[in-house]
Homo-oligomer: A and B are copies of this chain.
Amino acid sequence: MCSIIKLLNWDSSVSPIFLWRKPKNKILKISMNRFKLICSAFLILVSLSIHGQEEDKDALFIKSIYDYTLTEGDCYQWLYDMTTQIGGRLAGSMGADRSVEFTKDILDTLGVDKVWLQECEVPHWVRGEPEMVKIVNGKELKAVALGGSIGTGKEGLTAEVIEVLELDELEKLGESKIKGKIVFFNRPMDPTQIRTFNAYGGAVDQRVWGAARAVKFGAVGVLVRSMSLRQDNVPHTGSMVYDEGGEKIPGLAISTNDANHLSNELKKGNVEVYMRNTSMNLPSKTSHSVIAEIKGSEFPEEIILVGGHLDSWDIGAGAHDDGAGCVHSMQVIQTLIDLNYKPKRTLRCVLFMNEENGLKGGLAYADSSNTKNEFHIAAIESDAGGFTPRGFSCDAENEVFAHYFRQILEWQNLLEPYGLYFTKGGSGADISPLKSQKGILIGFRPDSQRYFDYHHTSIDNIQAVNKRELELGAAAITSLVYLIDKNGLTSEEN
């Protein structure tokens, strides 16, 4: 579109409050733009307190949050540095350790009251040499070992392949059909699901429990169709789980194109596959989540948490999963401090360790918090990528959910101009253990369409992230944190 006639047709736009060009010089930036932003935010607050229009005040402050984030926010640069200088950050790896230092160093500069590391004991799985999966007398298949998988041994293994679409098919086939074979789980994600996370949820049982189920019938290995809605050559890793004390067989994912190829070969007759991986589980290691806190000025005992997870899979740079969630959370802190906002409630940014294959950071955080009798009035997790925001999904214990949700919905008008809507649903894995504290749990929900194109792959890197989309996510979360902090939430009927 371009036509000049169309120029007469633009939707009306709010003119920007603040000067928004970003000077090259960092000192000038602080002395000029940031100063103007602080002054403007201050003037808005003063002028509006005269008029006493609380909703207008909120609307203007939210506008200042967006203006700041889109012009001065550093979240994209942080993500750029983390993904290009560190890369993959699987728990127990050197990358994970470096990301703890990297984010702590940044948080230390933002002007919070306190930054600290919280210990957790994490599994330590290593991938080993590049995987090899090849049809005997046929094509090599693009493959990656699933996280937690044992290796095949240096020699690899060769076996006939049997394709199944559902875990329950294994029982019908029984040992007579499965013993000694490689089970190939090939049920695609359902493309008719509008929210792609639902399609993932409907297919990922194959990856997580496929090997544990197949070994019971004598399978020697497992190949899983990658969890992706695209047809391409990119294999997707992700966690798998063995039964406690049960027998173990290796599990690898192959690309969707290669899954189709293998399936087509199987239609023609018996197919043997050679597979080899040298991954292994090493003794657990000590790692850390990173926590930054601003103490609340009026209700310090009410904690608002915003977080993501620091760890990522090893084969990519974890830009969307979940580098985006980490820098979103850090951006909330930077924005509110730079706009000179003094939270009434205690604000915590938590970058959890080991969400991908153990959740040890989230569990350690909740344990520690419960031991101290803390109360999280709200916990917000960003762990669905750095795409354009669509809203927030809210969760809480049954007895308090309706009260919270009713109050949250009162802010719908303020957030609708930014394309944000509230829904009921899940929140985030790391914050889910906090549910028993009876605050509200909130999952940030960006557009989900492209998430599984990159999820757990070698291409989840900074090139997959759009700067504006990332910044809009940070601004959306900051706005909600502001509304909760300023207006509070109660679990009582009122």
Interface residues of A, Cβ cutoff 8 Å to B: 1-7, 9-11, 13, 16-18, 20-21, 24, 66-67, 70-71, 188, 190-199, 201-202, 204-205, 208, 229-230, 238-239, 241, 264, 309, 313, 321-322, 355-359, 383-384, 388, 390, 393, 395, 417-419, 423, 425-429, 432, 447, 449-450, 453, 455-456, 466-469, 472
Given A1-B383, A4-B241, 11 new contacts (CB under 8 A): A3-B239, A3-B429, A5-B429, A6-B429, A9-B429, A10-B201, A13-B193, A13-B201, A388-B388, A388-B447, A450-B466
Q: Is the CB of B450 within 8 A of A469?
A: yes
With A2-B238, A71-B191, A230-B467: A388-B204 Cβ-Cβ less than 8 Å: no
Chain B positions within 8 Å of A418 at CB level: 194
Chain B positions within 8 Å of A456 at CB level: 2
Q: How far is the CA of A450 from the CA of B449 in the complex (A)?
A: 14
Q: Is the CB of B13 within 8 A of A198?
A: yes
Q: Is the CB of B4 within 8 A of A208?
A: yes
CB distance from A125 to the nearest CB of B (A): 13
With A9-B432, A198-B11, A466-B450: A66-B192 Cβ-Cβ less than 8 Å: yes
| In the complex, the 5 A-B pairs of residues with the closest C-beta atoms, listed nearest first | A9-B426, A10-B201, A13-B198, A3-B429, A11-B425
With A2-B239, A201-B7, A467-B230: A192-B393 Cβ-Cβ less than 8 Å: no
Q: How far is the CA of A383 from the CA of B71 in the complex (A)?
A: 28
Q: How far is the CA of A16 from the CA of B115 in the complex (A)?
A: 47
Q: How far is the CA of A393 from the CA of B11 in the complex (A)?
A: 9
Chain B positions within 8 Å of A313 at CB level: 2
Chain B positions within 8 Å of A357 at CB level: 2-3
Q: How far is the CA of A155 from the CA of B427 in the complex (A)?
A: 64
Q: Is the CB of B426 within 8 A of A449?
A: no
Q: Can you list 25 A-B contacts with CB-CB less than 8 angstroms, sorted by A residue number?
A: A2-B357, A2-B456, A3-B359, A3-B429, A6-B428, A9-B427, A10-B197, A10-B198, A11-B198, A11-B393, A11-B423, A13-B198, A16-B190, A18-B192, A24-B264, A66-B192, A70-B192, A71-B191, A196-B468, A229-B468, A447-B447, A449-B468, A449-B469, A450-B466, A450-B468
| CB-CB nearest in chain B for A395 | B9
CB distance from A318 to the nearest CB of B (A): 11
| CB-CB nearest in chain B for A416 | B421
Chain B positions within 8 Å of A455 at CB level: 2
User: Which of B70, B188, B383 meets A21, CB within 8 Å?
Assistant: B188
| CB-CB nearest in chain B for A451 | B1
CB distance from A79 to the nearest CB of B (A): 16
Q: How far is the CA of A9 from the CA of B428 in the complex (A)?
A: 8
Chain B positions within 8 Å of A67 at CB level: 192
With A11-B195, A425-B11: A355-B3 Cβ-Cβ less than 8 Å: yes
CB distance from A465 to the nearest CB of B (A): 11
CB distance from A140 to the nearest CB of B (A): 21
CB distance from A411 to the nearest CB of B (A): 17
With A194-B418, A466-B453: A6-B426 Cβ-Cβ less than 8 Å: yes
Q: How far is the CA of A208 from the CA of B449 in the complex (A)?
A: 35
Chain B positions within 8 Å of A16 at CB level: 190, 192-193
Chain B positions within 8 Å of A70 at CB level: 191-192
Q: Is the CB of B472 within 8 A of A449?
A: yes
Chain B positions within 8 Å of A4 at CB level: 208, 239, 241
Chain B positions within 8 Å of A467 at CB level: 230
| CB-CB nearest in chain B for A471 | B191
Q: How far is the CA of A237 from the CA of B429 in the complex (A)?
A: 46
Q: How far is the CA of A192 from the CA of B468 in the complex (A)?
A: 10
With A2-B238, A6-B426: A11-B197 Cβ-Cβ less than 8 Å: yes
CB distance from A350 to the nearest CB of B (A): 15
| CB-CB nearest in chain B for A445 | B11
Chain B positions within 8 Å of A239 at CB level: 2-4
Chain B positions within 8 Å of A423 at CB level: 11
Q: How far is the CA of A126 from the CA of B145 in the complex (A)?
A: 53
| CB-CB nearest in chain B for A467 | B230
Chain B positions within 8 Å of A429 at CB level: 1, 3, 5-6, 9
CB distance from A131 to the nearest CB of B (A): 19
Chain B positions within 8 Å of A10 at CB level: 197-198, 201, 426
User: Which of B13, B322, B450 meets A1, CB within 8 Å?
Assistant: B322
